[in-house]
C-alpha cells in the first residue's frame, strides 16, 4: 500500500489518460481515497497511527465502485 501520488497515477493510467490534453474529471470515490491517503500519510509520519489502522483500497477496488 502506498501513500504517495502513485494511487492517482495508477487510476489515470487505468482510464487511459497519459498526460496529454486536458485532465479528466476525477470521480468522488477516487477523490475520497486520495484524501484518505493524504490523512493517513500525515498520521503515520507524525506517529499518530500505523498504516494498518487505515482501510485503504486498491485502484481496482475503487474502479469497481464507479
At residue 32, the pLDDT reads 94
At residue 61, the pLDDT reads 93
**Cβ-based burial of 34 (10 A; exposed 0-12, middle 13-18, buried ≥19):** middle
In tens, the pLDDT along 4-62 reads 889 999 999 999 999 999 999 999 999 999 999 999 999 999 999 999 999 999 999 99
Residue 1 confidence (pLDDT) above 70: no
The domain tally of the chain equals 1
Q: What is the pTM of this model?
A: 0.84
The cell 487505515 sits on which residue?
54
Q: Specify if 39 maps to a domain.
A: yes
Q: Specify if 40 maps to a domain.
A: yes
Q: Specify if 1 maps to a domain.
A: no
At residue 59, the pLDDT reads 93
CA–CA gap between residue 23 and residue 19 (Å, rounded)? 7
HEC string of 11-54 equals HHHHCCCCCCCCCCCCCHHHHHHHHHHHHHHHHHHCCCCCHHHC
At residue 4, the pLDDT reads 80
Amino acid at each position: 500500500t502506498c501513500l504517495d501520488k502513485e494511487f492517482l497515477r495508477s487510476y489515470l493510467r487505468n482510464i487511459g489518460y497519459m498526460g496529454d490534453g486536458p485532465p479528466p474529471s476525477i470521480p468522488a470515490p477516487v477523490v475520497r481515497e486520495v484524501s484518505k491517503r493524504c490523512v493517513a500519510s500525515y498520521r503515520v509520519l507524525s506517529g499518530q497511527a500505523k498504516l494498518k489502522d487505515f482501510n485503504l483500497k486498491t485502484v481496482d477496488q475503487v474502479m469497481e465502485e464507479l
